[in-house]
A and B are shown apart, each in its own frame.
Chain A
Amino acid sequence: GAVVSQHPSWVICKSGTSVKIECRSLDFQATTMFWYRQFPKQSLMLMATSNEGSKATYEQGVEKDKFLINHASLTLSTLTVTSAHPEDSSFYICSATGRLTSGANVLTFGAGSRLTVL
């Protein structure tokens, strides 16, 4: 149990276009999802916290108009990189937290989505 799926796993886009990345909890309801960004050979940096049905909370220095987050259901959160530029090229990873039917709390990471902006 506790599987988180990200789609697409990799995407290439032209500069100026927008790209949407999905994060889905497959077998549990995710009350909260987190979005991280990871540049090559660097650690993961938390970008924002997403709660179902409410606006995302962004970390300091993260542009909310640039990285649009929608958490419309208990199993899906999306990150849209708007007007992408080469400096937005990165590995984007989500994590989801919720409760299994067993009652156990879980936090699981997705496999990540690699964005390359040309």
Chain B
Amino acid sequence: DAKTTQPNSMESNEEEPVHLPCNHSTISGTDYIHWYRQLPSQGPEYVIHGLTSNVNNRMASLAIAEDRKSSTLILHRATLRDAAVYYCIREPPGTYKYIFGTGTRLKVLA
């Protein structure tokens, strides 16, 4: 989706935090924000999702800007297994239609 943009790639050192940004400036007030990641030749894997408030789970944290025009996925301690393409996704409420962003390829350096 051209309206949901992410950096093409990012690098992080192992064991360090990673902040993956997403710009969704045209998001509607009720769209959910999801983050998935994808390994080569595999389907997307769920990471986290939210609507307005910041969210935490065992994998990551999601920080959503107050105006909801952007969000940031936070991996607290990157590991080599976190190397993947991370997608920011918006979902019109209740539709399950995922509109994928451009994706960020995360490289984790040992």
> Contact at B98–A43, with CB atoms within 8 Å?
no
Residues of A within 8 A of B42 (CB): 111-112
Flag if A43 contacts B102 (CB, 8 Å). yes
* Shortest Cβ distance from residue A25 to the other chain B in the assembled complex, whole angstroms: 13
Sort chain B's interface into a size bin: 10 to 19
A46 contacts B by Cβ under 8 Å: yes
> Is B44's beta carbon under 8 Å from chain A?
yes
User: Does B99 have its Cβ within 8 Å of any Cβ on chain A?
Assistant: yes
**Complex contact B87–A95 (CB within 8 A):** no
Q: Are the CB atoms of A44 and B100 closer together than 8 Å?
A: yes
Q: Which of A6, A43, A45 has the most CB of B within 10 A?
A: A43
Residues of chain A from 58 to 115 with CB closer than 8 A to chain B in the complex:
91, 93, 95, 97, 107, 109-112, 114
**Contact assessment for A43 and B101 in the assembled complex, using a CB-CB cutoff below 8 Å:** yes
Residues on the B chain within 8 Å of A110, using CB: 43
Pick from B36, B44, B45, B100: contact of A45, CB under 8 Å: B100
Please, how many angstroms separate the alpha-carbon atoms of A111 and B45 in the complex? 9
- Once bound together, how far apart are the Cα atoms of A4 and B45, in whole Å? 12
Q: Separation in Å of the A94 CB from the closest CB of chain B?
A: 8
Q: Looking across the interface, which residue of chain B has its beta carbon closest to that of A91?
A: B41
Given A44-B100, A93-B43, A109-B45, 10 more contacts at CB 8 Å?
A43-B1, A43-B100, A44-B87, A44-B98, A45-B100, A46-B97, A91-B41, A109-B43, A110-B43, A112-B43
Name the 8 nearest CB pairs between A and B, nearest first.
A109-B43, A97-B96, A44-B100, A43-B100, A111-B43, A109-B44, A43-B103, A112-B43
Interface residues of B (CB under 8 A from A): 1, 36, 41-45, 87, 96-103
Please report A residues at the B interface, Cβ cutoff 8 Å: 4, 6, 32, 34, 36, 43-46, 49, 91, 93, 95, 97, 107, 109-112, 114
